[in-house]
């Protein structure tokens, strides 16, 4: 089973039957009890499948690459197999993903997270194993990089590219989508999933469903209200393919707009705005909204965390990077920044002693300690 864009579910018996019973139970735990999305659960399954195939291949002398590796059957693996996994084998697997599969730091960290989660479930939750072979393995350190984002001028150019498109039949819809991205900082899946009942009748806010099926409220500013007010008549006049369809954004066929259609649309207008060379994406628009809100100086980092739907504050802190203009302003705001140097006339050449001039002797060092008492005679 290769990875595809289609999200498989645990109710897909043909799909879930490809995994050992213990991994099936772990996936069900992540989905039902921890509230992870099906997409997240699938990523755990795919990474654990690669791990299991590696273990069978390394122990059995099977090929580590090609179709032979991808077709290794892991359904026969039971409790004894997983309990017998050694820490050294996990290290070897991570090395394999780097050397043979060319996985980057993020991909290796995700695979290790799946293994750690699986063994934590087996040891701490189900008490199946006494020891956790992945417990003390450190996550690969990821290079910290500043999130790419559009400048204010580039945002205006992008929106103007939609306004100036005289051939598009979906111009009003597309302008609304881009406005929501640039102002609300929502994820691609969140925007595509908005339904009409999610929107406040007075256009003050809307409800989105984020990672782990967690809902949050996003408040709308004047730009969003204006774009949605212009789009609503178009939306209501567009016939939906299925009766009762409540999606806010519809495709040309009358279905809920797909994430791929939104990605294609964003790429199209980035090109028309002359920004294609920067390789921006829909997620970069989310970064843009967050960065512009924070750099305005009026948004607390904790408020931004809730707007973006982050679980941990340290995830939001990537937006606390400063721009060149902010660094320049910080230097200029130093209390000593306006101190002028003495005029040149007050400076004199430094006198350098001749080579035969003896260096001045160091002053005698003072003796430390209390002075000795003098006995009276």
Say whether 321 is catalytic: no
Q: Dihedral through CA 267, CA 273, CA 277, CA 282, nearest 10?
A: -30
Active site residue 310: yes
Known catalytic residue at 319: yes
| Active-site choice (173, 187, 256, 284) | 187
Burial of 82 (0-12, 13-18, 19+ CB in 10 A): buried
Q: Residues 116, 225, 235, 283: which is the catalytic one?
A: 283
- Answer yes or no: are the C-beta atoms of 291 and 147 closer than 8 Å: yes
Cα–Cα distance list, 332 to 15, 53, 150, 328, 335 (Å):
61, 59, 26, 6, 8
CB-count exposure of residue 106 (10 Å: 0-12, 13-18, 19+): exposed
Scan for tokens 């320049």, then name that residue: 328
Question: Looking at 30, 49, 286, 305, which residue is catalytic?
Answer: 286
Instruction: Give CA–CA dist 345/209, Å, rounded.
Output: 70
At residue 67, the 3 state secondary structure works out as helix
State both tokens at 358.
């003896």
Write the CA distances from 162 to 166, 172, 228, 293, integer angstroms: 9, 8, 15, 23
User: How far, CA to CA in Å, does 346 sit from each of 129, 196, 340, 349, 353?
Assistant: 80, 75, 13, 10, 21
Contact 68, 62 (CB under 8 A): yes
**Is residue 211 flagged as an active site residue?**
yes
Question: Is 286 considered catalytic here?
Answer: yes
SS3 labels along 271-336:
HHCCCHHHCCCHHHHHHHHHHHHHHCCCCCHHHHHHHHCCCCHHHHHHHHCCCHHHHHHHHHCCCC
| Rounded Cα–Cα distance for residues 100 and 58 (Å) | 13
Cα distances (angstroms) measured from residue 241 to each of 233, 249, 250: 17, 13, 9
Please list the active-site residues. 187, 211, 283, 286, 310, 319
């Amino acid at each position: 089973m290769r990875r595809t864009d289609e999200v498989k579910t645990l109710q897909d018996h043909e799909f879930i039957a490809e995994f050992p019973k213990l991994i099936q139970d772990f996936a069900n735990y992540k989905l039902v009890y921890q509230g992870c999305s099906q997409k997240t659960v699938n990523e755990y399954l795919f990474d654990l499948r690669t791990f299991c195939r590696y273990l069978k291949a390394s122990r059995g002398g099977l090929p580590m690459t090609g179709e032979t590796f991808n077709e290794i059957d892991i359904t026969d693996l039971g409790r004894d197999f997983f309990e017998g996994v050694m820490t050294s084998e996990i290290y070897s697997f991570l090395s394999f993903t780097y050397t043979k599969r060319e996985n980057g730091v993020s991909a290796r960290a995700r695979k290790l997270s799946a293994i750690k989660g699986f063994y934590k479930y087996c040891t701490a939750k189900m008490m199946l194993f006494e020891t956790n072979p992945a417990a003390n393995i450190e996550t690969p350190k990821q290079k910290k990089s500043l999130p790419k984002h559009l400048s204010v001028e580039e945002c205006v150019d992008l929106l103007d590219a939609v306004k100036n498109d005289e051939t598009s039949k979906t111009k009003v819809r597309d302008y609304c989508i881009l406005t929501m991205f640039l102002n609300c900082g929502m994820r691609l899946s969140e925007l595509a999933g908005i339904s009409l009942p999610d929107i406040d009748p007075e256009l003050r806010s809307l409800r989105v469903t984020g990672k782990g099926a967690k809902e949050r409220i996003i408040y709308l500013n004047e730009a969003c209200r204006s774009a949605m007010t212009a789009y609503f008549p178009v939306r209501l006049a567009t016939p939906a393919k299925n009766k009762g369809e409540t999606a806010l954004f519809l495709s040309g066929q009358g279905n809920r707009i797909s994430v791929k259609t939104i990605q294609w649309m964003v790429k199209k207008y980035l090109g028309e705005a002359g920004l294609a060379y920067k390789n921006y994406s829909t997620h970069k628009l989310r970064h843009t909204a967050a960065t512009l809100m924070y750099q305005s100086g009026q948004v607390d980092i904790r408020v931004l965390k809730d707007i973006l739907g982050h679980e941990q504050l340290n995830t939001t802190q990537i937006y606390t990077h400063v721009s060149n203009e902010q660094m320049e302003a910080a230097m200029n705001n130093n209390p000593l920044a306006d101190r002028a140097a003495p005029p040149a006339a007050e400076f004199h050449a430094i006198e350098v002693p001749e080579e035969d001039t003896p260096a001045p002797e160091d002053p005698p060092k003072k003796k430390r300690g209390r002075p000795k008492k003098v006995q009276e005679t």
